[in-house]
Every structure is written in structure tokens, then in C-alpha cells.
Amino acid sequence: MLIACADSLILSWSIFKTGHHTLRREDLRIIERMMSSKNKQYHFVLVHGLGHGAWCWYKVRTLLESVGHQVTALDLAASGVNLKTLDEVHTMLDYSQPLLEFMETIPMNERVIIVGNSLGGFSLAYAMDKFPEKISVAVFVAAFMPDTSHGPSYVMDKLSELAPKENFMDTKFAIQEGAGKPKTTMHFGPEFIASKLYPKSSPEDISLAKMLIRVGSMFRDDLSTAANFSDKGYGSVNRAYIVCKDDKAMSEDFQQWMIQNNPVKEVKEIPGADHIPMISKPQEVCHVLLEIANNCN
């Protein structure tokens, strides 16, 4: 069975390696480390960032399942193939509802590993605050990571100071009126996608992202008036952070600042990783996730 899993994983990597049909030596070393990890199966719950959907985890999901782990990748509200439209989603809590509904279904005697990228860090925080006993560790992958001392928008406000609107290049912004507070919407432009979000990815993956990314919102006005996350809930859950060292959208310095602002149990770094490492560095993401899972369980 072990050989079968290894063969399946090697096949997956052969498919995912863009521009080549053979594995690199470093790929083989990663496979060996993953196959020699503790013989324990985990349930990973994968959460995407703004404008994305469960689709952006397709490489990581396949690799983790190839070595026997259970994986759930979710579409948040008005994302991926979720049927809601953005004008039906008024708050970050509304946006995170699919994750919270899924967490409701987890039995009380089970714990999952939740993993969030980018804006997905806020969705993780809501899940941690409400279901701390169901989460063994929350992994923030180049993701917003709030604290319990400030309002939820604190880290987002800090990034806005460092990355003005001009940094979003051809991204389209609009004000959307609705039943709740007006919210700013964002639709990432093709130049921003290629040069800031996916600079380390293949042309094929960049084309896929351009076709699938939907209009989204950071719900900043909502977060600016939302209550702090609690020490009893959010603050009680093990946290780990994966730093993407070549991130052009959320700089390494800003990621390190969030870690200093709210220290975590474990920090991992992926050299050469951009803002969407599950597409550009799926093998490395899987290896690091399994290291964190083994260390925190």
C-alpha cells in the first residue's frame, strides 16, 4: 500500500511540474520526507483568499489525499462555485459562513487542521473563535492574522499603510450599496494577477486564475466596527504561520510583523514562494503542512 501511495504521489507531481515531465531531485527528496512522516492521518480544511475558490487548492488537495489524508476545500460565500452573489454578502462573518457551517458538522470528539491563505485568515479566526475545541492547529499561509488586543481590521489597516491602492495596479474597485453598510469591491486585474499574485506560477495556471477569479471584498468597514476576537476562543487555538518569502502582494516584512504582533507556536518559511504558494509551490506547502501537523498533534 505504501508503494502504491508513493507511486500515486509521484504521478501527481509529474502532472503538476510545469514545463517538464520528470521530477527534480528536490521533488524526490520532498516525497521521501512526506512518506517517512509519522503514520497518522489528518483532516485538513483548506480556505481560499479574496476572489478565489476551493479550486486554488487543487494541487495541494491531490497531493495530501495521495498520502492518505482527508481534505476538505471550501468555497466561501460568493466565491468559486458558491451560488451567492456579492450583494447578498454584507459582512466578513457572512462571507465565512460556509466554513462555519462545515465546522458545525465536525463531531465533538474530532479535531481538524484549518489552513487559510490571504484574506482566508479572517475566516479562520471566526472558526477558531466559535469552535476552538474542534481545531488542533490553524495554519496561516501568507494570510491576515488578527490578534485579540485590537479590532479585527488592525492588521488590514497596517497593510494599507504599507501597500497603497496604486499597488493593486489594474484591479477594479467599486462601492457597492446594499442592505448593510456600503462595501468596497475588488476585481483583480490581469496584470496584478500575473505580477503580484502569481509571479512564480506557470502561464497555464495564471490563465486559469484569470478565468476563475470572481469579484470580492475585504469587508474592511465591517471589520473596523467588529468586536475583537476572544482569548478564550481564537486565542486558545494553536497557530502556525507559513511565510512566503517572495510574496509581491503581502510582503515578507509584513508577514513577519504579524507574527511579532501575535506570536505563533510554529513558523515555517518557503523560499521563492509567491502569494499563492499552493499553486506555485504545492510540494513545499504539503511538506510544511505535514511537519506542522506532526508537531502540533
CATH of the domain at 119: 3.40.50.1820
How confident is the model at residue 182, as a pLDDT?
83
Out of 66, 79, 118, 201, pick the active-site residue.
Answer: 118
Angle between helices 58-66 and 2-16 (to 10 degrees): 160
pLDDT of 27 > 50? The answer is yes
Between 8 and 40, name the one with better pLDDT.
40
Q: What is the per-residue pLDDT for 163?
A: 80
Residue 27 falls in the annotated catalytic set: no
137-185 residue pLDDT tens: 999 999 999 999 999 999 999 999 988 778 999 999 999 987 667 899 9
pLDDT confidence band for 9 (50 / 70 / 90): very low
The pTM score is: 0.89
Lowest mean pLDDT among 1-5, 37-41, 114-118, 234-238: 1-5
How many domains does the chain contain in total? 1
- Phi first, then psi: give them for residue 117, nearest 5 degrees: -115, 140
**195 within domain boundaries:** yes
Of the listed 75, 129, 205, 247, which one is catalytic?
247
Domain of residue 216 covers 39-296
Catalytic residue among 48, 52, 69, 275: 275
Angle, alpha carbons 147-286-68 (nearest 5°): 115
pLDDT band at 7; cut points 50, 70, 90: very low
Residue 240 lies in a domain: yes
Residue 54 lies in a domain: yes
Instruction: Look at residue 87 and tell me if it is in a domain.
Output: yes
Give yes or no: 118 in active site.
Answer: yes
Is residue 291, in this structure, part of any structural domain at all? yes
Residue 16 lies in a domain: no
**Does residue 78 belong to any structural domain of this protein?**
yes
Structural domain includes residue 231: yes
* 247 is an active site residue: yes
d(CA 39, CA 44) in angstroms, rounded, equals 16
